[in-house]
Structures are given as structure tokens and as C-alpha cells.
Structure 1
């Protein structure tokens, strides 16, 4: 944190941000900077989307409570929230997922959410990406979006300003509870024992 503070004080860097870590790690770094009078992070780049909402448990709460901007990556979840499952494998990026169903990492719960995104999009006359971006934009500072074509870029730009008022009808994504179930605790204990 001192090295990052030196960069800011020297004028080489204006602001610092962090990416993809545990909330406890991020909090320790922020508290260390605060305790020493150093520059603190102003943003967090974390994975967050309709299919992956684990960050709501701690990281997003911590950032919101401490004024840190959220700029998540993968708001369209590698394109899963931008095209129906029948279209997987039609882009170079998703080709592997079509060849290997496990590579997609989609659960039945994910497919339920994707179907609901399709329904809301059809009802409103929006592409799927607009539904996913309207949902996330309400919760964050700004998304980081990757594109495989100019068409996808233009589609994302036209989503700007769209609002979603029926988001309660989208089923919850990744449930942030697995670690606290009996099975999750037992799995954690097994993992610890195997490293001893």
C-alpha cells in the first residue's frame, strides 16, 4: 500500500483500484492505508452479474458502506446473458462451451435465470444484454464489458439509460450460502485436511 501511495503522491498515478480478491483482504488493505494516512482504493473490479451474485454477501456491501465504486467485470457472464443457450458456440469465445458442456459452468438455476432474462427482453422488446445491463447498472458505478464484435458494442451502448422495474421476477443467481451449509463446512474441512 505504501508503494501505491508513493505513485499517487509522485503524480504518476491519480487513483488506485483493486480487483478480484476476498473482502477481508480488501478491507485489510483499506484499513492499513487509512491507519497510515496513505491513499486508499477508490474502486473494486469484481465479478458480478445476474448469474454470479456471491459478491453481494460481503464485497459489495463493504464497498457501498465505505464509498468505493464498483466496476465489475463479466456483467454479461461471458455472453450467457447476451444470447440464448441455443446460440452458445456460435462465437469464437463460446465455441469451447459448445464442445464441452462442463466448460460452460451453467447450472439448472443459471438456465432458469437466462430463460427469465429472455422473457423480460421479449416482453419489453429489448435484447437480453439490455435486461442484464439494466439490472446491474442500478447496483454499481459502471460495468466493464468485453465485446467480440462491433455489433455487440453498439448493442451495449444502446442499453444506456434503460431501467428495469420488474427485477424481482428474475430468480436469484448464485446463492451465497454454500459455505455455511453443513455440506459446505464439511467440504472445507476435507480440503483443509488434504493440504496437511
Structure 2
């Protein structure tokens, strides 16, 4: 029980640190913990997911926690979704993450982004995001597809096919470009609209 509590607190601290690292407007850990709805949504999801994976009998309770978080934060994360450490949801409003979505470590989602399904099957129908993926504002990543590590999805892109590691997907439907510079050597993209350079 105590080790489980320590693990939960460690994840919460990492979530706050991720928000401070990704948002230059964040002034303190206390500010992030109290006033960032994206962080609150992630914390609520961690609780809902723990309940969801405990027992099928508890699924309605997990859904209730998820719906309360949606009401309070504007972020909808199905309790069945698997979320890695240090997810940062910037601004939050309108983000949707479906039941079978898998999100890796250090992922950043901007407002209005969707990790959604393209079918009514009960199996895997939502995307899998690798580590350090950035999904721009209003982007839709749909279906049982894989977005590789260090990939970026441009604002308002509609992605329905796999994106390889380090790839940049932009447009409707999204086209993928592979930048010549490795992601570790690139300067961070502070505004996903800057990904427009890959259209040329």
C-alpha cells in the first residue's frame, strides 16, 4: 500500500515537472498543481485507470471519475486508456483520448487534439503514441495506428496512417516528412504552427 502511494506521488511530481518544463508561463510547482486543468485531468485519469484495471465491477465508478474530470477540466480521457509518465496537456480544453489509446512517456498534447477511433470494433481501435510525441492543437490522430518516438503532428492535421519515428505529419489528410536533422539536435518547436515549414 505504501509503495503504491509512493508511486502515485512520484508520478504526480513528474506530471508537475513536465508542465513546468513545457510551459514557459508556469511560475511554480504550486501554481501548476493548483491551476492547470490539463494536469488535473491526467491525475484524475490515473485514479480512474487504477479503478478500471482493478475489477470489471468497478468500471462504472471509473467512468464516473472520468466524467467528473471531463466536467471540471474539459478533457475527456477514457479510463481504459494507457497513459505513460509525464504527459502534459497544454490548455486542455477539448482534448479526447479513447479507450484503447496508448500514450508513451513525455508526450505533449495541445488543446482540441483527439486520439480517436475509426471503427466500432471492441478491440484495439485507437492510436499508439511513442515517447516524446507532440500533437498540435486541433489535430486528429485516428484509428489503430502507431506514431513513432519523437514524431510531431501539426496543428489541425488529420492522421490516419502510421508516422515513423522523428516524422512530422501535417495537412488533411496528413502527409509525413522526415526532417534531415535528428530530433535531439533540433531546437524545440514552441508553436506547432511552425511545422508549416515542412509543407514546402
TM-score normalised to the size of structure 1? 0.25
- Which structure has the bigger radius of gyration? 1
Would you tell me which structure has more helix in proportion to its own residues? Answer: 1
In proportion to residue count, which structure has more strand?
2
Structure showing greater relative contact order (alpha-carbon pairs closer than 8 Å, 6 or more residues apart):
1
